[in-house]
Structure 1
Amino acid sequence: MQDRSKSRPLPSSLAWLTALAMVSATAPVSAGEPRADGLRAGELHAGKLHVASPDWRDQVVYFAMVDRFDDGDPSNNDQGVGEYDPADGGRYSGGDLRGLNRRLDYIRGLGATALWITPPVANQWLNPSRSFSGYHGYWASDFSAVDPHYGRLDDYRALSRGLHARGMYLIQDVVVNHTGDWLACDRAGAADTAAARCHLRSDPQGRSAPAQPPFDRNDPADAGDRAAAIYHWTAPIADYTDRRQELDGQLADLDDLNTENPAVRRALRESYGRWIREVGVDAFRVDTAFHVPADFFADFLHADEPQAPGVARVAAATGRDDFLAFGEGFGSDKAFADAQARKLDGYMRTPGGLPSMINFPLYGSLGEVFARGRPSAELAYRIDSMMALHADPWRMPSFVDNHDVDRFLAGGSEAGLKQALLAMLTLPGIPVIYYGTEQGFATQRPSMFAAGHGSGGRDHFATDAPLYRYLQRAIALRRGNRAFSRGRPTVLTANAARSGAIAWRMDGDDGRALVVLNSADTPVLLDRLDTGLAPGTWLRGVFAIDGDPRDLQVGADGALSLVLPPRSGKVWRAEAAVAASTLDAPAALPRLDPLPAAPVRGDFEVHGEAPGSRRLQLVIDGDLGSAQTVTVAADGRWRARVRSDAMIDPATVHRLVAHDPDRGASSAAGAFRVALDWRLRAERDDPAGDDTGPDGGYVYPTGPGWRALRPADIRRVRAWSAGGALRVEITMADISEAWHPANGFDHVAFTAYLSLPGRDGGATVMPQQQARLPDGRRWHYRWRAHGWSNALTTADGADADNEGAAVTPVPTIAVDRGAATITAIFPATAFASPADLAGAVLYITTWDYDGGYRPLAPEAGPMRFGGGDAQSPRVMDAIEVTLE
């Protein structure tokens, strides 16, 4: 690597930099402030209803929940059936279409070019089977009408016009799989047995059916309704791995539509075509696409029926020749696997089907690498996989946060979030920014406006918020160069062993760019990176998460060597190369003697030579922060001993480099593997059937999959250590994977507290569990994991509401359903590398988690534990072990 930024002028790319500057200059306009185009912020009727489709590859989407964004008309908040209560996260809060409209300049100021909103259609206001409202929009009563909580049809048209006036686009969330929850079936069976298996429930509005025909034909006791076959007459899904249940069963008790029925298909086309014609919707996001047969969408989009044409035909008639419809397929793949990605791809490759699906597997990898400290090679695999597997990944929406999963900041750091966002914005796909990410939200669905749920009593529209300003810059980077929105990535390096460097090059018609990130919390050595660029190529620094990126020059061998600060991210634009004769000759390199070929079982010795060097840093897996400094002897020889308890996977090939920091020269890398010698330190059985809470009075939720399995019943815990590394095996009564969880288990969440002897600090409170550790003991590390989360925190900042400071790496989780065991393996670095764990105390609890610990009330519900109240401990079973 050569830094010549001060010694000679750089070639320019004025057109690209000018475009970037113009996008960066997009500034938010406060409400009422005059704009340069003559409109005023919040103008309602200035734009056209119908506009041509954009090139969706170049768009940046802002995703807002209507009810939680802003309240522009308080008069429509309370419709009088107990559904409105901002103090309750399960009730309406008051956000509406007018609120969105008056904040369009806030959204545009961020750099977003399109707005995706949750379904605005008339919903079931209160669910009769649980204490929850339809504020989110996914429980339709009438697919063709605006919900009164959100406003009127004219309000929706005004939102469309306001977006189009700003050169922005409107994306409506649509549901084709189900309606609200009026029909209850207690078991599976043929449609002609529905009268014996199913019954209707009335909601607080006095309805026992949707308001819209033909969806109102849901009475299992009516032979005509059964014959109409509008519904599947099925019980709730008990096993999400069963494809027939996934397609025809009730998702979360919601009434499953028979989308094979021509009458259902026609009614859905008519309803959703109306929003395009009468409101000017530019694209659809299709909810729960995996629960609908893939071939349904060819009819939905392209049906040639004059009275109810496919929605893509409707859109074309309004001048939209590229009406985007992208589906939700909820499912993230495990590391180095692509089963869910292939399932997504099947929907996109079905003839005439959905042209796009949301890239959930990429979301999973971004979170694993940047929030949970997994090896950056997991993201590298995902990038390579999506480019090889999908025909058009450039039109697949990508995201870091959304409304159905934990926010990134629930278990990750702000530094990690900035990296994940930069990665998303420099890779193929349509980036989606979930509302509140730009304000640092850590909970799933709080309100942006002061009067709404979870707002803390204040508005959250600050355009000087650090993450808002950061996103302005990062979005401007993407919009300023189409290499990021239309180019093809080539992964150049990634770390297979731990968090650390990952780099890719984007090649497009508009040029080439280099993106480099360090996902570790320590400095990383990126040695001899093969850029694939010509020797002498100048790299103009165009973006850095922190500070200013230096301009660089590729070496004579086409490589770069860099020291990457912790959690850094940098982007360079490749420009012209200079003659090779002007490049500096490389320095003499240190040398490693051969490393052990067989896996080492503990600490081991390495040696080599480095003539001309005074000292070396032994850098393992790029981790410069933990590098051991070694003095080189007078004869040029050196030797050192390597600690191995941070290396927990015997299949991982580790990489060692001898680096001379004074000369900037590094040896060729040596490879080795580690198979730790684990020692059993604790073993304890737990009584069967004691999963009844602290006082024995708790009961499981009433929904399927709880009471028969007893998924929170701990039967045994064993713990091993190897130096400061920890392996914990939890044996359960049974393990459920009915919801197809990413981590291999569901219906239970584990929260474990580790107390380390001789360690100062700690906390006694068990965050969000309404409890404290037994005997006043203090914990230093807390692990929380359920089917879709895996978070490790320290006690720093922990209290009754806050989980503490996030720590990486998180443990590796393995599930053996046959043995009913869940195993978590923590490297020593997760606990700040203690020499040994003798005397450590581990306290493990069970409950369940879904964006927060599941509620507890005197009476159990389908997804609510019973036998306690809001102040009672969230602990179903618990066990304590001490490592001897």
Structure 2
Amino acid sequence: MRSFPSKLLALVCGAATVLGCKSKEEPLPSPVPPTDSLHVASPDWRDQILYFVMTDRFANGDPSNDNQGAGEFDPANGAKYSGGDLKGLLEKLDYIQGLGATGVWITPPVANQWWDPLVNYGGYHGYWARNFTQVDPHMGTLEDYQRLSRGLHERGMYLVQDIVLNHMANCFRYTSYNPADVTAGVVLNRDAKPGCGPTQAPFDQWDPTNPAHRAAGAFHWTPTIDNYSERNQELNYQLADLDDLNTENPAVLAALKDSYNFWIREVGVDGFRVDTAFYVPQATFKDFLYSSDTQHPGVLVQARSLGKEGFLAFGEGFSSDNAFEDTATRKVASYMKDPATGEDLLPSMLNFPLYRTAGDVFARGRPTSELAHRLALSQTLFARPHLMPLFLDNHDVDRFLTGGSEAALRQGLLFMMTVPGIPVVYYGTEQGFTAQRGAMFREGVDSGGRDHFDTSAPLYALLREVTSLRKQHAVFRRGVPTVLRQNAARGGVFAYKMEGEGQVAFVIFNTSDEETLLDNLPTGLTDGSELKLLTSLGGGAGDAHVGRGGGLSLKLPARAARVYMPTGRGTPPPAETARITLTNTSGATVGGDFELSGTATGVATFKVVVDGALGTASTVTVNGDGTWRTVVSTAGMVDPNIQHALVAWAEEPQVFSGTLTFRVNRTFVTLLTHEDPANDDVGPEGRYHYPTDATWGENHQGDLRRVTVQGAGTVLKLALQTNRVTTVWSPQNGFDHVAFTVYIDVPGRTGLTVMPRQNASLPTGMDWDYHVRVHGWSNGLFNPIGASATEDGAPVSPTAAITVDQPTHTVSLTLPGELFGGLTHLSGVKVYVTTWDYDGGYRPLVPAAEQWKFWGGDGATDPLVLDDTPVLTVP
């Protein structure tokens, strides 16, 4: 059994003598300038913060390489090259380092297929290789890349290169497939630019119609994946028509090792991010990383020979779990350590499961217990959690701000900087980007005609602050978290303690959009202990003191966060002068509102706070005999599996009752049902068609068949039945190839009629106060503030809860009762439902047939609506 490099293993144990690890480290020391700036020793990756750049979209240092004359360059077209390059990146290192990043991760700089006419898209991103050992002319030259490496190393920074083992460019595809005759049904991509087929051996043997190429077996002669849950397809079929490499072929694996060892040797790359790792067998990584073959050594072996003992390779496993599930998490873990043999595989993987749950909690308002579970699972299931890159968004998913507020993003960034892992900031996050792959430079696509390297931008300043916090306190880089408080019912308090390197810190969030009460957080400290505030989000922050029994109690503003560290000093708290008791017994299940009673001394009034929500807390007056009673509203509570908690609290003097827990078992009632005609998913004028790709086929995922509106209290549930629910692309929300956009009109409120980004307005007699947009990988809820024909409006949380009933082809959206504040029932609420599809934006509409676009209209002016309902009014 191969052993993992001992020094890299030590990164997660805090050994004092390995890679400069110290048992009690305070701020990071200034790096010593290297004597040979191309090759430097590996850092302790736990201490690094990466800035992820899509090179073509970042900075244009050499306009002369923008256009290679193949029709591939057009900064006005998001499918084509915009002009960013390696020289431009080098020129912006001050900007990146000023943010607090210590390393730069770039998309593949290798020679690429520039334009694929079969999909009408370009390879500006770098993942469609033609030659793994050449720099693409759009990116610059090998010398430019070496200058970038030296420029980073001379600053004490590091370089991570994106690499691909699974596939190359799309040079052949199948219109039909017969495994007994792989020459049948083949379409060769003859018009691809700059040419058809890789130029590097053995990958230049790519043509399935050529007997010699077939015999060489460098590729799998297979069609595109149509079932991502089937392991054989995942490993051996083409991902989105990209030619799938046969990595079990020794010649292929040797060439891959040689190719990527080239970049370590010639450029001094310090780490690799391995694209599409799930599509490569785990066994491939044993050879690719650790092979002792002197002619074709593994990349970690090659790196060690150049003094890079801790070379980092982390894989992309694009998969995540629903709340409290762990199937995807275990799959990610299986690429770090072989579950059968215990052998080490990739040193690290991107933490996709934590990305998903962090977005659900911070952006979409899910209960903080979901993040508590996911954070704990990351520590127990992953072999090396401190080496796993953490992220909030990237080039393959929606930007955080397309569905989350800036306040939520600020919380997510602070979270990322205070838990185990390597934080990754996707370029443009610090400038508030919403375009998934927009350019930072003014000539590039979606730049708005201006440069975006603004060091005074609010999010840039926030990142500078939180990266500094991480650097100054080793406990955030190397400590271990323990969750101290979570909310099982809703957004609200999420608090954890970080311990390690001889330090303790407390990190506290209020993920709710309303003021929240934190009561008696168990700190384990002595009464009256002083807590120094290290950083905060939201107003009213300052140093704090622990109360009686070692509990910390705080009133937290909406979207606030507090980070504290004990000083070792303290002042004993004053003697207790008041008391509140509850008569009710914990653990009951109720069917609706219920009476709460008890006694109180030393206070005249107090509040009953349910699930931490101060905004909806009721005020109770104590009777002359010291008794009291009140009714607890359960209007917005419907899930019998959720345990709610309440506490009675008087702010002055600071006194709490014990905590009462309860559950609510409420039944949804059908309020109306709309039967929608079949086969009317053709647009308002009957002209639209689905994309020609076979994954749409005759499925008609956007054809509404029935919409059922249900209610329980003021909770609204919409059951949207379509012709067919598909999961072709393993969507995290349980359905794909359709997006539902739902508009809600609340009685007594004034909203808007424009339908953002859909080239349309609502039917007569309705305006919207909220609109919901959900598809397989996103879930957004917006109010009309700032909304227009081109802007969604202000993000709202919590978003809709999504459930999918595959057998009945039904997607259900449950909207929380908080949205309908002021109502006692749902009568008069209006609902309007539309379908389309979404992929970083509503899927384009074009006049003529295309593989990945709807067709039959003008996407600039025609409504982006496949099917819709009438306005549905709750009786």
- Asked if these proteins are the same fold (TM beyond 0.5), I'd say yes
Pick from 462, 471, 483 the counterpart of residue 470 of structure 1: 462
Pick from 29, 53, 60 the counterpart of residue 49 of structure 2: 60
Instruction: Kindly indicate whether the alpha-carbon contact (under 8 Å) linking 1:47 and 1:162 is maintained by their aligned counterparts in 2.
Output: no
Structure 1 residue ranges without an equivalent (≥5) = 1-14, 27-35, 40-44
Instruction: Kindly indicate whether the alpha-carbon contact (under 8 Å) linking 1:645 and 1:676 is maintained by their aligned counterparts in 2.
Output: no
Residue type at the aligned position of 1:747: H
| CA distances 1:733-781 after superposition (whole Å, capped 9, x unpaired) | 1111121111111111100001122212x11111111111122631111
Pick from 529, 536, 540 the counterpart of residue 544 of structure 1: 536
| CA distances 1:392-428 after superposition (whole Å, capped 9, x unpaired) | 1000000012111111110111111010111111000
1:128, CA displacement in angstroms? Answer: 2.1
Q: How does 1:197-346 map to 2 (within 5 A)?
A: 197-205=185-193, 207-346=195-334
**Distance in 2 between residues matched to 1:206 and 1:678, nearest whole Å:** 59
| CA distances 1:603-626 after superposition (whole Å, capped 9, x unpaired) | 222121112211110100000111
Aligned to 2:653: 663
1:187, CA displacement in angstroms? Answer: 3.9
SS of residue paired to 1:627: strand
Aligned to 1:32: none
Aligned to 2:5: none
**Distance in 1 between residues matched to 2:753 and 2:547, nearest whole Å:** 55
Residue type at the aligned position of 1:296: T
Q: Residue 380 and residue 596 in structure 1: after superposition, are their counterparts in 2 closer, same or farther (change >3 A)?
A: closer
Question: How many residues are paired up?
Answer: 848
Q: How does 1:334-373 map to 2 (within 5 A)?
A: 334-350=322-338, 351-373=343-365
Which one is further off, 684-693 or 162-171?
Answer: 684-693
Residue type at the aligned position of 1:882: T
Indicate whether 1:141 and 2:130 are aligned: yes
Aligned to 1:76: 65
Q: How does 1:220-619 map to 2 (within 5 A)?
A: 220-350=208-338, 351-546=343-538, 549-576=541-568, 582-595=572-585, 598-619=588-609
Instruction: Kindly indicate whether the alpha-carbon contact (under 8 Å) linking 1:57 and 1:395 is maintained by their aligned counterparts in 2.
Output: yes
Indicate whether 1:883 and 2:874 are aligned: yes
Residue type at the aligned position of 2:88: G
**Distance in 2 between residues matched to 1:234 and 1:834, nearest whole Å:** 57
**Distance in 2 between residues matched to 1:185 and 1:533, nearest whole Å:** 66
SS of residue paired to 2:834: strand
Pick from 83, 105, 111 the counterpart of residue 94 of structure 1: 83
Aligned to 2:726: 736
Which one is further off, 598-607 or 86-95?
Answer: 598-607
Instruction: Kindly indicate whether the alpha-carbon contact (under 8 Å) linking 1:501 and 1:518 is maintained by their aligned counterparts in 2.
Output: yes
Indicate whether 1:633 and 2:603 are aligned: no
Q: Residue 67 and residue 658 in structure 1: after superposition, are their counterparts in 2 closer, same or farther (change >3 A)?
A: same
1:385, CA displacement in angstroms? Answer: 0.8
Indicate whether 1:685 and 2:675 are aligned: yes
1:127, CA displacement in angstroms? Answer: 0.9
Instruction: Kindly indicate whether the alpha-carbon contact (under 8 Å) linking 1:724 and 1:836 is maintained by their aligned counterparts in 2.
Output: yes
Instruction: Kindly indicate whether the alpha-carbon contact (under 8 Å) linking 1:535 and 1:577 is maintained by their aligned counterparts in 2.
Output: no
**Distance in 1 between residues matched to 2:539 and 2:38, nearest whole Å:** 43
1:547, CA displacement in angstroms? Answer: 5.0
**Distance in 2 between residues matched to 1:742 and 1:393, nearest whole Å:** 22
Aligned to 1:175: 164
Structure 2 residue ranges without an equivalent (≥5) = 1-21
Instruction: Kindly indicate whether the alpha-carbon contact (under 8 Å) linking 1:810 and 1:830 is maintained by their aligned counterparts in 2.
Output: no
Instruction: Kindly indicate whether the alpha-carbon contact (under 8 Å) linking 2:847 and 2:857 is maintained by their aligned counterparts in 1.
Output: yes
SS of residue paired to 1:361: helix
SS of residue paired to 1:594: coil
Residue type at the aligned position of 2:857: G
Aligned to 1:654: 644
Residue type at the aligned position of 1:160: S
Instruction: Kindly indicate whether the alpha-carbon contact (under 8 Å) linking 2:24 and 2:501 is maintained by their aligned counterparts in 1.
Output: no
Instruction: Kindly indicate whether the alpha-carbon contact (under 8 Å) linking 1:612 and 1:636 is maintained by their aligned counterparts in 2.
Output: no
1:864, CA displacement in angstroms? Answer: 0.9
1:679, CA displacement in angstroms? Answer: 2.4
**Distance in 1 between residues matched to 2:854 and 2:281, nearest whole Å:** 34
Which one is further off, 54-63 or 308-317?
Answer: 308-317
Residue type at the aligned position of 1:521: D
**Distance in 2 between residues matched to 1:327 and 1:587, nearest whole Å:** 58
Indicate whether 1:160 and 2:149 are aligned: yes
Aligned to 2:104: 115
1:227, CA displacement in angstroms? Answer: 1.0
**Distance in 2 between residues matched to 1:71 and 1:510, nearest whole Å:** 45
Aligned to 2:853: 864
SS of residue paired to 2:38: coil
Aligned to 2:761: 772
Aligned to 1:103: 92
Aligned to 2:15: none
Instruction: Kindly indicate whether the alpha-carbon contact (under 8 Å) linking 2:511 and 2:558 is maintained by their aligned counterparts in 1.
Output: yes
1:577, CA displacement in angstroms? Answer: 5.3
SS of residue paired to 1:834: coil
**Distance in 1 between residues matched to 2:529 and 2:646, nearest whole Å:** 28
**Distance in 1 between residues matched to 2:80 and 2:823, nearest whole Å:** 47
1:199, CA displacement in angstroms? Answer: 2.9
**Distance in 1 between residues matched to 2:301 and 2:540, nearest whole Å:** 49
Instruction: Kindly indicate whether the alpha-carbon contact (under 8 Å) linking 1:481 and 1:510 is maintained by their aligned counterparts in 2.
Output: no
1:531, CA displacement in angstroms? Answer: 1.3
Residue type at the aligned position of 1:883: V
Residue type at the aligned position of 1:492: L
CA RMSD of aligned residues (A): 2.0
1:133, CA displacement in angstroms? Answer: 0.6
Which one is further off, 834-843 or 490-499?
Answer: 834-843
1:172, CA displacement in angstroms? Answer: 0.1
Residue type at the aligned position of 1:383: L
Aligned to 1:815: 804
Q: Indicate the percent of aligned positions where both proteins have the same amino acid.
A: 50
| CA distances 1:676-715 after superposition (whole Å, capped 9, x unpaired) | 2422211011111111111112111111221221111111
Q: How does 1:717-736 map to 2 (within 5 A)?
A: 717-736=707-726
| CA distances 1:407-455 after superposition (whole Å, capped 9, x unpaired) | 1110111111010111111000000000011111112111111111111
1:219, CA displacement in angstroms? Answer: 1.3
Pick from 705, 709, 712 the counterpart of residue 702 of structure 2: 712
Instruction: Kindly indicate whether the alpha-carbon contact (under 8 Å) linking 1:368 and 1:374 is maintained by their aligned counterparts in 2.
Output: yes
**Distance in 2 between residues matched to 1:586 and 1:261, nearest whole Å:** 75
1:198, CA displacement in angstroms? Answer: 2.2
**Distance in 1 between residues matched to 2:36 and 2:85, nearest whole Å:** 20
**Distance in 2 between residues matched to 1:534 and 1:348, nearest whole Å:** 41
SS of residue paired to 1:561: strand
Aligned to 2:739: 749
